[in-house]
Amino acid sequence: MGKIVAVNASPRTKFNTGSLVREAARGAESQGAQVQTFDLARLEKHSGCMSCFACKLAPNEGTCVFKDGLAPVLAAIREADGLIIGTPNYLGDATAEFKALLERLVFQRLTYRHEPSLYGFRRIPALFVMTSNASVDAYDDCGYSAIVARYKGFLETMVGDTKTLLVGETMQVKNYDRYNWDLFDAEARRKRHADVFPHELEHAFQLGSEMVSNPW
């Protein structure tokens, strides 16, 4: 496996989600893969699907032709041997950046025909990372499990076999003292970030390594 695309759909490049995506990318690199990393919030102006339907017309069937900041990301994914993509949970869903990319990635591959229902593409392994304030143990109760299942389903169908990495109870900010918050135990969040998050980074590294050495 030669090329891995790593996509951070968080507006912060090196906090929880960005760190996990980058650590998975490092794992892939440790097995000799070439990794191209994109921070969606740092790209040139872009949007979700424009509903131009050009991807349903020859000679561009199956390929999004809209030229904006997401164009190089979509082009890189088409040539990739694996995809790592991560998003924080915002308001009970993925970020707008994540959904914009997913719209463009998915819609281009729909034929709007019974058979075949999808334009041909090479399936590759994918890793879906989601971080949240909520505990992963509470995902069923707060409806997050359904969200993860939905996005995993999109990736399974439109990219390839997909593993998930879920990280909860994240440390939202470095300095809680600046904020008048009482919903979170700041000291507990700091302690978890120091004691548990490094192990989650190790898990991300392992999954990135396995994507190359033993792809699922």
Instruction: Indicate if the pLDDT at residue 1 is higher than 90.
Output: no
What is the mean predicted confidence (pLDDT) over 85-99?
96
Record: fold of 3-213: Rossmann fold (3.40.50)
Q: What is the spatial distance between Cα 184 and Cα 205, in angstroms, rounded to a whole number? A: 28
DSSP 23-62: HHHHHHHHTT-EEEEEEGGGSSS--S-----GGGSTTSTT
Summarised one tens digit per residue, pLDDT across range 50-90 is 999 999 999 999 999 999 999 999 999 999 999 999 999 99
Quick one: what percent of the chain has pLDDT higher than 90?
95
**Residue ranges per domain, the chain?**
3-213
H/E stretch holding 206:
helix 197-213
The pLDDT tens digits for 141-162 are 988 999 999 999 999 999 999 9
Taking the C-alpha atoms of residue 194 and residue 32, their distance in angstroms, rounded to an integer, is: 30
Residue written as tokens 């390929």?
63
**CA distances in angstroms from 185 to 16, 94, 136, 172, 181, listed in the order given:** 18, 24, 17, 11, 9
pLDDT digits (tens, 9 = 90+) for 171-214: 999 999 999 998 889 999 999 999 999 999 999 999 999 999 99
Average pLDDT rounded to a whole number, residues 11-20: 96
